[in-house]
Amino acid sequence: MTAAAGQRARRGRGGRRAGRAWRGYLYVLPAAAVYLAFAVLPALHTAYLSLFEWDGVTLGEWAGLRNYREVFTDPALRGAVFNALVLVVFFALLPILAGLVMTGLLSLPRASLGGAGSRRRGLGVYRLLFMLPQVVPLVAVGVTWRWLYGEDGLINETLGGIGLGGWARPWLGDFDWALVAVGLVGTWVLSGLCMMLFLAGVHKIDPQLYEAARLDGAGPVREFVSVTLPQLRGELAVALTVTTVAALASFDIVYVTTGGGPGEETTVPGLLVYKLAFTDGKVGLASALGVVLSLLILGLVYVINRLSRTERT
């Protein structure tokens, strides 16, 4: 819009305008070149490799869509995708739920108790703390939880201390509990982010909406459901996008906590892409899995943003 007005003023100079407009691309060129060379082309190359059977050393062999068929039929690969979807529950749904509950409890008194200042007091330190797990390397987070979940780790010690020693187990090596244990690490990492996202969103809501709700006799719960929740739609979409991508593309936490085990219980697509390509010599299959994973992520992100947009209007 800016440049449009400026250009209209200069319309007299005619022919040079077109050249001038294109010249703006000189600013975009360096970024575009790096992006194309080191992100777009590799992505296309992955799609190309996914059509071959290749061990990374000898000559590849055309495979058509065979690798894709394997992604959808091989139990190990399907299992990995399924595990990633289970992780969505822990990385996305639980943190968002926790964030909403906390937001509801902390911000309901909007209309009844004082101004914004009184409510925000002391939140700064909490905010700093709650975002910390999101900021430090996931590898370090994984290492930390590996110890907490260990046989002599804090979790088992605590269980023993409160008389639940029977529950103690090596959580990350337990066939029933390993995936849950890994998932809860994600919950720990992402809950604070969701909470802060929603709390920030609540502060942008027009207080008059709350006053109107209260005049209609709405209680705290009613108020939350009919005012806060719909107004937070944008923040919900952002939280859902960030956390879902984190779950589906997870690698770091799984790699350092369980390495995919026990058995294949916690194997996720990211881990398989790495293993198939660099230890099993199945580069084509790894590529196909990478493509499927990316399409899954893209599809879910599209749906999330589509839903949040149509419902808002």
Partner 1 sequence: MRRGGAGVNQAAGAYRTERWSGYVLLTAGAVAVVVPFLSVFLASMQPSGEPVVGMEWPQHWSLDNYRQAWTVAGFSSLMRSSALIAVGVVPASLVLAGLAGYALGTMRLPGGDGVAALFVAGLTIPVELIVVPLYFDLRSIGLTDSYLGVILVEIALFLPFSVFWMRTHFRTTPPELVEAARIDGASSWTVLFRVLLPLARPALTTLGVLVFMWSWNQFLLVLVLIQDATKRTAPAGLGFFVGQNNTDVPMLAAGTILVMLPITIVYVLFQRSFVAGLLQGAFKG
Residues 167-196 that bind partner 1 (CB under 8 A): 188, 191-193, 195-196
- Whether the Cβ atoms of residue 65 and residue 254 lie closer than 8 Å to each other: no
- Whether the Cβ atoms of residue 248 and residue 297 lie closer than 8 Å to each other: yes
Residue choice 53, 55, 252, 264 for contact with partner 1 (CB under 8 A):
252
Build a one-symbol-per-residue string for 28-57: x at contacts with partner 1 by CB under 8 A, - elsewhere: x-xxx-xx-xxxx-xx-xx-xx------x-
- Shortest Å distance, C-beta 59 to partner 1: 13
Build a one-symbol-per-residue string for 65-94: x at contacts with partner 1 by CB under 8 A, - elsewhere: ------------------------------
Query: What phi, psi does 80 have (nearest 5°)?
Result: -65, -45
- Shortest Å distance, C-beta 206 to partner 1: 19
Residue choice 86, 93, 180, 218 for contact with partner 1 (CB under 8 A):
218
Residue choice 83, 241, 266, 267 for contact with partner 1 (CB under 8 A):
241
Residue whose CB is less far from partner 1, 87 or 283 = 283
Build a one-symbol-per-residue string for 136-155: x at contacts with partner 1 by CB under 8 A, - elsewhere: xxxxxxxxxxxxx---xxx-
Using CB under 8 A as the binding rule, whether residue 307 contacts partner 1 is answered as no
> By CB under 8 A, which span of 62-70, 74-82, 162-170, 280-288 interacts with partner 1?
280-288
Residue choice 71, 87, 232, 297 for contact with partner 1 (CB under 8 A):
297
Please state, in angstroms and rounded to a whole number, the distance separating the CA atoms of residues 214 and 208: 10
Residue choice 228, 245, 260, 267 for contact with partner 1 (CB under 8 A):
245
Residue choice 97, 158, 175, 230 for contact with partner 1 (CB under 8 A):
158
Build a one-symbol-per-residue string for 106-135: x at contacts with partner 1 by CB under 8 A, - elsewhere: x-xx--xx------------xxxxxxxxxx
